[in-house]
């Protein structure tokens, strides 16, 4: 009897010791897991506050200067990139916008006198050319910029070519129709639709459409159907 009682007590002691050990190990694992989760959350927070490393490469310097409204400095960085041709449409578009800004284009509506001065300005014309180059390559933001410019009647007559391969015919060329073409190209741009980019010039689109007849709007749509991208190296 004494042996049986002793064995029972020994089992209880061993079981209690094992239970304590298991509880200790479980607590230790839980603590490690919490510390690990905390470290991961801290790392995620730090990563969110930091911009991607590629953003600090020389490629982005011109864009950062442009967004800081330092267009003269930005153009020193952007123009060489824009001249690289195909694949550098972002730089071409940014170069064009900077040129327009330096020419005096502002966000508020321009007067008739300001419009005349702008469309005769060399920087302004160059800016339109860069934006057209990017838009002709299918850059949807550049196409949106053209929509805005057409809506405000700010495209110089000799800057409205459908694409660089075509020669304008004064009898068939219509500024409104060409503006409608860019509007339809922007609205149906495959990349814009693929990434779900919102329409950024909705008011200007409506203004452009209201400035023309229904027939002109439909002719622009037809031009858009027959349009093809042009990539300049």
Report whether pLDDT(44) > 90.
no
Residue 99, pLDDT above cutoff 70? yes
Domain residue extents for the chain: 2-50, 59-225
| Secondary structure of residue 171 in the 3-state scheme | coil
Crossing angle of helices 122-136 and 89-103, rounded to 10°: 160
CB atoms within 10 A of CB 183: 27
What is the predicted pLDDT for the residue at 7? 58
Of 44, 227, 37, 232, which is closest to residue 143 (Cα–Cα)?
227
pLDDT of 176-206, one tens digit each?
999 999 999 999 999 999 999 999 888 999 9
Cα 68 from Cα 200, distance rounded (Å):
21
CA distance 103 to 137: 24
CB 183 within 8 A of CB 205: yes
Token pair recorded at residue 121: 């300005």
Average pLDDT over the chain reads: 80
Average pLDDT, integer, range 58-82: 94
């Amino acid at each position: 009897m004494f042996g049986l009682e002793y064995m029972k007590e020994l089992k209880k002691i061993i079981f209690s010791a094992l239970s304590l050990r298991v509880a200790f190990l479980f607590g230790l694992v839980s603590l490690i897991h919490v510390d690990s989760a905390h470290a991961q959350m801290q790392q995620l927070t730090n990563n969110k506050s930091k911009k991607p490393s590629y953003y600090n490469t020389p490629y982005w310097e011109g864009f950062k200067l442009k967004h800081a409204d330092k267009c003269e400095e930005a153009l020193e960085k952007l123009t060489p990139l824009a001249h690289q041709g195909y694949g550098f449409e972002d730089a071409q578009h940014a170069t064009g916008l900077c040129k327009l800004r330096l020419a005096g284009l502002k966000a508020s509506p321009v007067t008739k006198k300001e419009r005349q001065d702008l469309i005769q300005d060399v920087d302004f014309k160059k800016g339109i050319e860069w934006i057209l180059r990017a838009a002709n390559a299918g850059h949807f933001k550049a196409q949106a910029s053209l929509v805005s410019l057409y809506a405000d009647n700010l495209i110089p007559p000799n800057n409205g070519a459908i694409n660089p391969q075509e020669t304008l015919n004064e009898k068939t060329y219509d500024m409104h129709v060409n503006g409608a073409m860019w509007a339809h190209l922007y609205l149906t741009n495959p990349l814009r639709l693929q990434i779900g980019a919102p329409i950024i010039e909705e008011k200007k689109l409506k203004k452009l459409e209201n400035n023309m007849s229904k027939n002109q709007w439909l002719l622009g749509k037809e031009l858009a159907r027959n349009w093809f991208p042009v990539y300049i190296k």
